[in-house]
Structure 1
């Protein structure tokens, strides 16, 4: 009896800075909107409620929601308004230029959860050029050792977005021929985000017209 190969948890890619921004923006919206709803007069509470109904889903869409899940059989890309599921056999390329994107099933999709930092890429390039030239690498305060993000200063460095794209390419190549990695790309719209935001936008429009 043949045993099936073990399945591991999906690798998850998310932007820490986006999550932090989401917490800050939601907190600010709750504070201002809640205050307006509790203490406002006239149409202010209704306007604040409509604004929150529009703002909270949009903030959630662009901060908390974006994520990339890479498993043994498929790549699942959760963008602000759509979720794309691409079996590895459909993935044609994964690349990072000014943004990260995957081409699967003849279409190209952005990877919102893996933002490209040109600054980080430039720092990695300069660091690697110093190593190639035989110069002393710069660690903490330029003294070598380990840098402030804990990486060895005497080893080649890769920007986080480029490292993530490299891992996704490796997974695509490794699993493309697996039986469970076959199929077609599926795309689902995120109506749980779109619907409340649309209701909030319509409510604000009505309040403005009837104002």
Structure 2
């Protein structure tokens, strides 16, 4: 009797990341970079002597910083961990190491050690919150009006005001847009993922923090060069 050959085992596929970024931050970063590069390159081409060196130092300083605070921030979430790419740091938190995700004047994640990390890619918009609150209130008012109209229709044979049908309920709610601010909805999604995954074995591990030397290095070099030029001239 022959025994079946063991089938090769394949590792479980790693879940894809959900990526959260700030569209307005990206747009603002592109515009700022365009202005900085335009002015800097113009000074390099048309300037003379010290002006060219100052323009070069300013470009080395500003381009990494503008990119870091506008284009770089992102949040990556999958079934194992939350990875936060902030301007100057990259933080990886397994779901099992997260105590809570909080929203106030900023969105932040709190590790079980008590350390707080801000989510730069998910900024809080008080204006969007107020707009969403108004939409929610309007939706509640329309639901209440529809319920009253339905009760009135049942009590009056399906019509009101002499059979003209003014008491009939609306066919649907007319709520223009979501009743939840976009960044608040992102935080709700992350909380739900945390709740479902924090006890899983694959979502355990250590919190790691890495400094973004690729951003800090050029920025520091540009700042030092700019300071030297200002001192010697």
TM-score by length of structure 1 reads 0.87
Which residue matches 2:120?
Answer: 112
Do 1:102 and 1:108's aligned partners in 2 also have CA atoms closer than 8 Å? yes
SS in 2 for 1:133: helix
2:16 to 2, 9, 31: 9
CA offset at residue 130 of structure 1?
2.2
State the distance in 1 between where 2:132 and 2:48 align: 55
Alignment of 1:88-107 (within 5 A): 88-106=95-113, 107=115
Which residue matches 1:165?
Answer: 187
- Listed one character per residue, the Cα deviations across residues 118-150 of structure 1 (whole Å, up to 9, x for unaligned) are 1111111122122223378xxxxxxx7463xxx
Answer with 1 or 2: which has the greater Rg. Answer: 2
Which residue matches 1:130?
Answer: 138
**RMSD of Structure 2 on Structure 1 (CA):** 1.9
Alignment of 1:116-195 (within 5 A): 116-134=124-142, 145=174, 147=176, 151=177, 157-195=179-217
SS in 2 for 1:57: helix
State the distance in 2 between where 1:24 and 1:125 align: 31
1:84 equivalent to 2:106? Answer: no
SS in 2 for 1:12: strand
Do 2:138 and 2:175's aligned partners in 1 also have CA atoms closer than 8 Å? no
5+ long unaligned stretches in structure 1: 137-143
